Structure 1
Amino acid sequence: MGERIIKKIILRIVWSLIFLCLVFILVKNLTLLTTSKSSIPFPELDNVPDFTLNTLDGKEVALSNYKGNGMMINFWASWCSPCKKEMPAIENVYNSFKEKGFEVLAINLGEKEERIVDFLEKYPLSFPILLDDDIVSTDYMVHSLPTSYFVEPDGSLNKIHIGELSEEELYKIVSELLTTD
């Protein structure tokens, strides 16, 4: 009888350890998805996929209309804390570089227009806010927010950044983007 109790205790300990390992792996992966910061250069890619999306007021905006400008395509949502933190930095950098040919297209992922309008009242932005149709975010393989694509003036992809960008990081990336040949 004592041997049976010991086997039950050992079995419970083993299952508890397995459970804890699975929880650890899950938490580690979720943390990487939501807080990882990476800038990945992709010099071997040609042009980024073109798209046409609507603004809040129904105006159509096509990526191809911006060819010749260095660009940031930012995928975001109002519920995303890193997105909220980086939007003022994006606005500041945009205002600093727009006269030098820098453009920003901010693509909101699937939120109701009222939520976006509420966000814009708290965080006034002067660059276009576009409404994703789920096709663009799929074409751009967006799995985590915020995700930013930096596009050369010739339309080729310079780099992708997953995670929040500071104003200092943005200044550095945009300065390099606008000075590349």
Structure 2
Amino acid sequence: MKKIKLGLILFSFLFSLSAFAGTLKTTEGRDVKEGYEIGDKLPDITAKSIAGKDIKLSSLEGKLVLVDFWASWCPPCRAENPRIVNAYNKFKDASFKNGKGFTIYSFSLDTKQANWKAAVAKDKLDWDYHVSELKGWHSPTSNKFGINSIPSNFLIDGNGIILAKNLRGEKLELILQYYQKK
């Protein structure tokens, strides 16, 4: 009987530990798990820029960031780009409840660097954070993030916490206005 109780206690203890695995502390002191849903801490990304330099998403800590999955060959993505450019220009220097400034971490699902680079120039995507693995739908990052259609995006705060997902049209600007310091 004692062995059974000890086993149950040990099992309960290990189970409670596993429930907290992957949990992170935010600056507010509440527990947040790493994941892909609103309220989760978005996992870090490291990918190559057009110039071949590694850019980490975590290097943008402190800003609101739109992590935008797109491709040059995607008509809905290209149609959405002018709205994203407008939001960027309007909010890049704004102060937010949990972030100073707004930027975009554009993750391209292109396979040809020349097409990707040309689309960035043509669409006037003037922010500094353009990355890709140049593997299209075989991108390990997009697969890890569960991206199965584009455009797709995550808006994260200065601590990397997901505030919103898949913002299109005027929704991006409305959410940015909501989080902007008044």
8 Å Cα contact 2:38-2:161 kept in structure 1 = no
Deviating 4+ runs (over 4 angstroms)? none
CA deviations over 1:31-87 (Å, ceiling 9, x no partner): xxxxxxxxx9723x2x10001111101122111111111110000011111101111
The correspondence for 1:61, drawn from 55, 60, 64, is 55
- Are 2:73 and 1:42 equivalent residues in the alignment? no
- Kindly indicate whether structure 1 or structure 2 has the higher relative contact order, using CA contacts under 8 Å at least 6 residues apart: 1
Number of equivalent positions: 136
Tell which structure's C-alpha radius of gyration is larger: 1
Unaligned runs of 5+ in 1: 1-39
Task: Identify, as 1 or 2, the structure richer in helix.
Answer: 1
Query: How many Å separate the matches in 1 of 2:157 and 2:121?
Result: 31
The residue number in structure 2 matching 1:145 is 150
Cα offsets for 1:67-116 (capped at 9, x unmatched): 11111000001111110111111111111111121110110013201111
Tell me the distance in 1 between the aligned counterparts of 2:132 and 2:158.
Answer: 23
Correspondence for 2:178: 176
Give the match for residue 164 of structure 2: 159
State the alpha-carbon separation in 1 of the partners of residues 161 and 118 from structure 2: 34
Residue identity matched to 2:123:
Y
Relative to 1, partners in 2 of residues 1:120 and 1:155: Cα closer, same or farther, differing over 3 Å? closer
RMSD of aligned C-alpha atoms? 2.1
1:88 to 2:82 alignment? yes
Letter in 1 for 2:145: Y
Could you tell me which amino acid in structure 2 is paired with residue 173 of structure 1? I
Q: Which amino acid aligns with 2:104?
A: V
SS of 1:58's equivalent? Answer: coil
Letter of the 2:173 counterpart: Y
Residue segments in structure 2 that go unaligned for 5+ positions in a row: 1-35, 95-100
Kept in 1, the 8 Å contact 2:64–2:103? The answer is yes
Q: Which amino acid aligns with 1:155?
A: G
Task: Give the equivalent residue in structure 2 for 1:109.
Answer: 109
SS of 1:99 mapped into structure 2:
coil
Deviations 1:124-148, CA, capped at 9 Å, x for gaps: 2112211136121122110010001
